[in-house]
Amino acid sequence: MDELSYILNELGEHRDEYFRAVAPPIVQTSNFAFSKVADLRKSFEDEYSTWLYSRGLNPTVEILRKKLAALDEAEDCLVFNSGAAAIFAAVLANVKSGDHIISVKNPYTWAVKMFEVILPRFNVTVTYVDGTLTENFAKAIRPNTTLIYLESPNSWFYELQDLRAVAALAKEHGIVTIIDNSYCTPLYQKPITMGIDLSLQSATKYISGHSDTVAGVLTGNRAMIERIFNSEYMNIGSGIQPFNAWLLIRGLRTLQARLERITRTTWELVRFLQQHPRVEKLIFPLDPSFPQYELARSQMTGACGLLTFYLKAEKGSTIETFCESLQHILMAVSWGGYESLILPKCAGMPPEAFDAADPAHRSLRLYVGLEEPDYLLADLSRGFEAIADLS
Ligand SMILES: *Cc1c(COP(=O)(O)O)cnc(C)c1O
């Protein structure tokens, strides 16, 4: 495997070809000109091997693809204009009418919408399983199962699947495996090396790292990625634009440094929250209290900045007061940027549906960004003080 610093700083870059510029150019062009008909003909025959039109290949995007493939230790990579587009292309490429998918329960919202709104129109069915037990996948396999869809950890409660075991099971049955690896990034989990066929992630999160672009990554073996390029990628037309690719290359330069900083701060916040009397429980996959801690240690080398904690509260309004009292931690979806974020589960339901007896209703997802730890600790304390007299 290439060294990380080489991948982030050099791989895919040809500085002699562009004025020895240290930062690569944004090749902001829709098409490419030819001087020989024979060359043009060749590119029509095989668009995956030459510059023809930027809905297909583009030189700035090429640099990014090489780096992202290497990070995953995968043969090849496509970069999309969103993580959702990567999910859509990967799934669509592996099903036809009459097929059956096994998905881990509660995958990302837009994976669910694809499974429940779009695929049934094409007679593709989905079974959801509790992925914490590999035998649940085995039990759900039918003769027409072509795909197993994973997300490990997921992005609220962090349930894991045993990636090596599920990959081995799927191979036995000739079933393709896809994982959403957004939580860990390829720095902290490399599903392809554990036998998973296709690994995808929302690059909007840590790869961009600055909350200023939306993008998605899909990696796998050359044959499968080339097949997806020639059909779903070109047809959906959701490839990343050169400028956004350039932003992601810039994000990659600091990925390792950002993740290290975020990890250090996250542990400080984990310890603070765990001892706080208003916190009932905290979920973080690399904390020894996590139910699948051993599995996490065996397949992840880091966990970064996303955690969930349960507030002790009888009323939904108490949770709302806590969130609204924070002055620096922003209330927003997404994660992976420079800024810390809070997201209360109860925002996803009408206030009258709040049930304090259901711990999930009292859960808050915290994303830890790049701020000084003390700045964040003081902000969380502000939230706790605001609800000190509230039940
Ligand atoms: C954000 C996210 C996605 C979707 O990515 P977009 O870039 O927003 O399209 C997919 N999976 C997970 C786990 C995510 O958090």
pLDDT tens-digit readout, 35-47: 999 999 999 999 9
* Residue 109 CA, ligand 1 centroid: distance in Å: 8
How many H helices and E strands in the chain?
15, 12
Neighbours of 307 (CB within 10 A): 22
| pLDDT tens digits for range 195-227 | 999 999 999 999 999 999 999 999 999 999 999
pLDDT for 282: 98
Which amino acid is residue 273, in one-letter code? L
For ligand 1, residues with CB inside 6 Å are: 82-84, 108, 155, 180, 182, 202, 204, 214, 216
Tell how far the Cα of 111 is from the centroid of ligand 1, in angstroms.
9
Conformational region of residue 212, where left means phi above 0, alpha means psi within -120 to 50, and beta covers everything else: alpha
CB 209 within 8 A of CB 255: yes
The tens digit of pLDDT for each residue in 105-162 reads 999 999 999 999 999 999 999 999 999 999 999 999 999 999 999 999 998 999 999 9
Pair 136, 130: CB distance under 8 Å: yes
Q: What percent of the chain has pLDDT over 70?
A: 100
The residues pairing with 306 across neighbouring beta strands, listed in sequence order, are 367
Composition of the chain by helix, strand, coil, percent to 5: 45, 15, 40
User: Which residue is closest in CA terms to ligand 1's atom 5?
Assistant: 83
Helices (H), 229-358: 234-236, 242-253, 255-274, 293-299, 316-325
| φ/ψ (deg, to 5) at 103 | -120, 145
The reported pLDDT for the residue numbered 2 is 75
Cα-based distances in Å from 13 to 24, 63, 248, 249, 362: 7, 6, 14, 11, 48
SS3 (DSSP) at 34: coil
Query: What is the average pLDDT across 72-85?
Result: 98
Q: pTM, whole model, 2 decimals? A: 0.97
200 C-alpha vs ligand 1 centroid, how far in Å?
A: 10
CA distances from 265 to 61, 183, 246, 305, 369 (A): 33, 17, 28, 8, 8
